[in-house]
Amino acid sequence: MSELWELTSLIRSKNAGPFELTFDIIFKNRAGFNLAKESGIFSRANIAQLYNVPADGVRVFELVSILAVKVSIPRPVFSGDVNDTDVYGGQFHSRLVRLVVGDPNSNRKRSETTMPGIDTVGVGDT
């Protein structure tokens, strides 16, 4: 089992306009990409729970040829709003960095102690 950061060369978040966030995850090699993909950590349901957004607002794109995953979600508040805590969207990726890849029950265990709302869901639940 590995944490997501160990399998990737880049994990970042940024604004995709004032109303959405996008996450870019680029893997070091195909083995890590496949392991993460098969684990289900990028399912719409899992991302929705991790970021407390509706699943129908989550979009996941697998870019196999460049070993990358792109995820877009609605922002909790629009960029620049008085309640916005990150106007550029550059710090939202932190919840992804330590996700455990490989054991479907690991993130459930972590969610009980460190990351409320994470629940691992199968790949087919997108």
Residue 82 token pair = 């008085």
Residue 120 falls inside a structural domain: no
pLDDT in the model for residue 107: 53
- What tens digit of pLDDT does each residue of 12-46 get? 999 999 999 999 999 999 999 999 999 999 999 99
pLDDT in the model for residue 118: 32
84: confidence class by pLDDT, cuts 50, 70, 90: confident
Specify the pTM.
0.78
Q: Which residue has the higher pLDDT, 62 or 108?
A: 62
Please report how many Cα atoms fall inside a 13 Å half-sphere around the Cα of residue 49, on the Cβ side. Answer: 18
CATH for 50: 3.30.70
Residue 88 falls inside a structural domain: yes
Work out how many domains the chain is built from and give that number: 1
| Residue 62 identity (one-letter amino acid) | E
State which residues form the domain around 32: 2-107
